[in-house]
Structure 1
Amino acid sequence: MENNTKPDKLNIFTTQIPEEYNIPEIHQREYLLNGELVPWNGAVQEVWSPVSIPGQDGLKRKLVGTIPHTTPTESMEALQAAVDAYNNGLGEWPTMKVEDRIKCMQKFVGLMINERDLVIKLLMWEIGKSLADATKEFDRTVEYINFTIDAYKDIDRESSRFQVAEGTIAQIRRAPLGVVLSMGPFNYPLNEIFTTLIPALIMGNTILFKMPKHGVLAHYPLLKAFKESFPKGTVSTLYGKGSEIITPIMESGKVNVLAFIGSSKVANGLKKQHPKVNRLRAILSLDAKNAAIVTNNADLDVAVNESILGSLSFNGQRCTALKLIFVQRGVADEFVKKLSEKVSALKPGLPWDKDVKITPLPEADKPEYLKGIIEDAEAKGAKVVNEYGGYTEGSFVFPAVVYPVNDTMRLYEEEQFGPVIPVVPFDTIDEPLKYQIEANHGMQVSIFSNDAKEVASLIDPFVNLVSRVNINTQAQRGPDVFPFTGRKDSAEGTLSVADALRSFSIRSLVAAKVNDTTKDLFNTIVRDHDSNFLSTDYIF
């Protein structure tokens, strides 16, 4: 599998770190609990960068810093803080006026922006995200928060009136659900987590924020912003091994919403730990093995370019990445040739290198895993067809185009979550359709064809198998105003700006019979602003 003849372009590791991107080691010794940054004097966990530094003993990952390794004791204290802050819906945050909650969120955004440069650098050092992608992640997250604020205003404006039906007058608004446990992935440790945390928070829920596997220090500069922007107990942070600190939280039955982005296996285990599953709302974004389908009628240049973007953006470490490419046999050889040439021309390097496309991988065991699934494919008849494909050094793996892949290979079934592109030749469209029908996942598909009748014939079956059908473009999450969900084991609930606000709330209403007494009563409450719920205030 491996091509270990090392050309100059693959010599990415160096002792020369540009001064503007260097950072001192950061040793976090505090965490956010009940509105305070509480000192931590217990065990810590080392944070090692995927960026390795060459030395006399070979490559060694750079130490970024250390983080708290808290215990179940601290996790239960955080849970109690969230429960107390919610106070059965009577707490300061859940009963606060919508306008005031928005002001708190706007304050948070302002304080967050002040930490932009440091957070971007930490994303580069902790998970190997390129400068361009790390910058995009931060800025997109700020944009997402602002979109969420605007969407929340829209929802509240629609609710700022009374409705009359069949002799009953009512006001219908959205109310919070309770304590939310928010857990997210390492690949987008800021953006993905905030797409659940922010809407859950602004709707009036209280948050237990479990840090991701990698990218923990990137959140450290934001703890003060959380502390200063929201009432105490509204947000508390959790550190440590999930199996140790999350289990007692779920078993307590005090979590009302599980917001989780990760594997379906972990999500299923977490839900089973809750003693009252019927009371637990789950908002989940899970596994995906998104397929691309390139037919004989495709523009191959478009298909190749979009397939590379879809397969290798952030080294293919995205749930929305294209992880299996079906190519009709009539154009398969030409497609693979074009794809291989373009992949081999991609620039590898360190996160701050100009125009870098492929960077080191944050998961220490990922290179060995990728080697294993490629060797499995080779043993069953496939080949790595691109130059440098599969070259590995330390945490760095150059992308491998593997062809021809078939359904006996691990690459056909397993979500590789890394820079490997399996290409499957097919004769009739029934083959990729059969794959999607039998797959455990149902997030997205990308169809490449310029034949209108062919595209139409594919749209109709695939919209009932996946949640998004992309035509002549890569799979992706955005724009954030569009629904983001999945079928089968890929998701539960819907995320997008407006959908997420609804997912983390429930419609509640105040109703009464229409008569003069009710009119006088409601008018008095509204006029005197005695209720934060029963109100006709219009937020601009």
Structure 2
Amino acid sequence: MTIAKPRHLLDGSHRRMFIGGAWVEAASGQTMETRNPATGAVIATVPRAGKKDVERAVAAARNAFDGPWSRFKPHERQKLLLRIADQFERHWEEICVSDTTDMGLPIARARANANRVLGMLRYYAGMATALHGQTIDNSLPGDIVSYTRKEPVGVVGAIIPWNAPTAASVWKIGPALATGCAVVLKPSEEAPLTPLLIAELMAEAGVPDGVVNIVTGTGAEAGAPLAEHMGVDKIVFTGSTVTGQSIVRASAGNLKRVSLELGGKSPVIVCADADLERAAPVAAMSVFANSGQICIAGSRLFVARSIHDEFVARLAVYAAGLRIGNGIDPETEIGPLISPRQLQRVEGYLRAGAEEGARLVTGGARLSQGALAAGNFVAPTVFAGVSDTMRIAREEIFGPVISALPFDTLDEVVRRANDTPYGLAAGVFTRDLATAHQLSRRLQAGSVWVNTYHAIDPAVPFGGYKMSGYGREGGVEHLDEYLNTKGVFIRID
């Protein structure tokens, strides 16, 4: 397949941010670099926004929400979302190249995300005309008709991470457009380019000025002012639990609504009756996909003791055979970590695993030979001999590191799997239907996959338990997160 050249050359040129339908610089005039994590090269500079820029973006969103956008009918919002989906489909290769260059996602994986992202946009389009209230019989005196209305919450501040710029942007902007909200999106400073491309494609599809705004900057200088802003009615955030907690505190000023999709330390349980040939690659890629930089990574691998050694050996063989390199190569299966800082973080966990007594089965080191020397590459890693108290089994690593832990009984593994402050996802491999249902019910996680992993459907809610956040993305529940419910009483006697 031919690699398309994106409309914006990723060659160190300068990009501006998008506010009120215009491409603008930061009020301070400051800029920041974004680098290709596979090569270390500067691929663009973008404005380094601050509080004044956030205020300008929120004002633009408010003007749009109170103005022409408020008069769009549901069927008009539906048509707009379908045009956006078509526009994305026409320019999908550009989007893929942008993601690959900016944050290292292997382009083969980026291309494979088309069904998910385009499906989300078309799902939201379908839902735009299906949002409605209800009439309610009541026992009030007199002749009174009661009904509810679903109304957009208003201006939404969206803060997304660097590990999935396209999907995360659409997961925030799509439901806002379907419900009639306006958005100020703050992408990660590590990967701001695809959201800017998305803004341009949406504008070309006919999104009115001010409905979608993109503010580039750091979390402290742009994200925090957005979370605190009194003119923002709702914050949606995907990222670390620590940052999520700070957003909750910042939201107290005007009691804005908050949806959080936070960290995870997801368990994957391989039962003795599992199909090992099928389970091994799926369990491996539950962590190694996106170089482990994914919140749902199944990094705690619980394996029935009777098959533990065989299964770990299969994982090691699979891991060693993965092709690692620059994501722009269609043959690459594992790309780089996002930054030198993330590389140092992951290397710290590799050292901690060894120091705490885990047995390194494969990987365990930075890769710096030849073409990999300038990038942030780590070999897919499997540790065995891991105990539940080790840091690699307790803390979110956000790197390609699996901790294998044996178990003996289902009651035991459920207790151990749930012994974590997180509750985002879980996986189960078994051929027994009763076991599948039992574990799916007992595991404390927002998503449970059985004999598969990473399956995301726009119609199915996604989100966390415990310190993995609250609120849902996907399904009818997702749209409800962007709506207020109003009760209306009319006396007609």
With structure 2 as the length reference, what TM-score do the two structures score? 0.90
Q: For residue 471 of structure 1, what is the amino acid of its counterpart?
A: V
CA deviation after TM superposition for structure 1 residue 33, in Å:
1.6
Asked if 1:438 is matched to 2:416, the reply is: no
CA contact (8 A) 2:145 2:491 kept: yes
2:61 alignment counterpart:
82
Please list, as runs of the form range in 1=range in 2, the aligned pairs for 1:442-457 lying within 5 A after superposition: 442-457=423-438
Q: Answer with 425-434 or 302-311: which moved more.
A: 425-434
Q: Does 1:493 align with 2:471?
A: yes
Name the CA distance, whole Å, in 2 between partners of 1:162 and 1:381.
63
Q: Residue 104 of structure 1: CA displacement?
A: 3.1
Name stretches of at least 5 consecutive residues in structure 2 with no aligned partner.
Answer: 369-374
Q: Take 2:244 and 2:58, find their aligned partners in 1: how far apart are those partners? A: 19
Q: CA deviation at 1:127?
A: 1.0
Does the CA contact (< 8 Å) of 1:182 and 1:258 recur in 2? Answer: yes
Shift of 1:257: 0.6
Residue 14 of structure 2 corresponds to residue 35 of structure 1: no
CA displacement, residues 399-427 of structure 1 (integer Å, 9 cap, x when unaligned): 01111111232101111111111111223
Q: Deviations over 1:59-106 (max 9, x none)?
A: xx122111111222111111222233334xxx3323432222223333
Look up the match of 1:425. Answer: 406
Q: How does 1:222-301 map to 2 (within 5 A)?
A: 222-227=198-203, 229-276=206-253, 279-301=255-277
Q: Which secondary structure does the structure 2 equivalent of 1:338 belong to?
A: helix
Letter in structure 2 aligned against 1:392: L
Q: Which whole-Å CA distance do the structure 1 matches of 2:441 and 2:223 have between them?
A: 41
Counterparts of residues 463-474 of structure 1 (less than 5 Å) = 465-474=444-453
1:248-397 residue pairs with structure 2 within 5 A?
248-276=225-253, 279-386=255-362, 388-393=363-368, 394-397=375-378
Answer yes or no: is the 8 Å Cα contact 1:444–1:467 preserved in 2. yes
Does 1:169 pair with 2:145?
yes
Report the secondary structure of 1:298's partner residue.
coil
Q: Unaligned stretches of 5+ in structure 1? A: 1-17, 53-60, 516-540
Matched, 1:512 2:490: yes
Contact 1:401 1:422 in 2 (8 A): yes
Partner of residue 481 from structure 2, selected from 493, 503, 512: 503
Q: Which one is further off, 223-232 or 208-217?
A: 223-232
| Residue 459 (structure 2) pairs with residue 481 (structure 1) | yes
Quick one: distance in 1 between partners of 2:385 and 2:50? 48
Sort the Cα spacing of 1:19 and 1:203 in 2 relative to 1 into closer, same or farther, 3 A: closer
Given candidates 381, 396, 400, the residue that maps to 1:400 is 381
Equivalenced residues, count = 479
Letter in 2 for 1:358: I
- Preserved contact between residue 94 and residue 204 of structure 1 (Cα < 8 Å): yes
Are the aligned partners of 1:367 and 1:392 in contact in 2 as well (CA < 8 Å)?
no
Bigger radius of gyration, 1 or 2? 1
Structure 2 match to 1:50: 37
> Which secondary structure does the structure 2 equivalent of 1:99 belong to?
helix
Question: How far apart are residue 456 of structure 1 and its match?
Answer: 4.4
Report the aligned-residue RMSD: 2.5
Q: 1:121 and 1:232, CA in 2 relative to 1: closer, same or farther beyond 3 A?
A: same
Preserved contact between residue 47 and residue 216 of structure 2 (Cα < 8 Å): yes
Deviation at 1:24, TM superposition (A): 4.6
Q: Distance in 1 between matches of 2:136 and 2:247?
A: 40
Residues 497-532 of structure 1: per-residue CA shift (max 9 Å, x gap) = 4221111102235442345xxxxxxxxxxxxxxxxx
Please give the alpha-carbon distance, in whole angstroms, between the structure 1 residues aligned to 2:252 and 2:257.
13
Q: CA deviation at 1:340?
A: 0.8
User: Per the alignment, in what secondary structure is the counterpart of residue 38 of structure 2?
Assistant: strand
Q: How does 1:525-540 map to 2 (within 5 A)?
A: none
Q: Which amino acid aligns with 1:349?
A: G
Distance 1:335 1:275, change over 3 A: closer
The alignment partner of 2:46 has SS state of strand
Residues in 2 aligned to 1:469 and 1:236: alpha-carbon distance in whole angstroms? 34
Residue 68 of structure 1 corresponds to which residue in structure 2? Answer: 47
Distance, in Å, in 1 between the alignment partners of 2:181 and 2:233 is: 9
Among candidates 172, 179, 201, match of residue 196 of structure 1: 172
Q: 1:163 to 1:401 in 2, by over 3 A?
A: same
Cα distance change on mapping 1:147 and 1:314 into 2, 3 Å: same
Conservation of the 8 A alpha-carbon contact between 1:94 and 1:176? no
Aligned residue for 2:164, secondary structure, equals: coil
Contact 1:253 1:275 survives alignment (8 Å): no
Name the SS of the counterpart of 2:263 in structure 1: coil
Q: 1:37 deviation in Å?
A: 2.3
Instruction: Name the CA shift for 1:431/1:493 in 2 (closer, same or farther; >3 Å).
Output: same
**If the length of structure 1 is used for normalisation, what is the TM-score?**
0.82
2:372 alignment partner in structure 1: none
1:149 to 125, 130, 134: 125
Aligned letter for 1:292? V
Following the alignment from structure 1 to structure 2, what is the Cα–Cα distance between the partners of residues 432 and 466? 14
Q: Which moved more, 1:188-197 or 1:225-234?
A: 225-234
> Measured at CA, do residues 128 and 254 of structure 1 come closer, stay the same or move farther in structure 2, by a change above 3 Å?
same
Rounded to whole Å, the distance in 2 between the matches of 1:147 and 1:311 is: 28
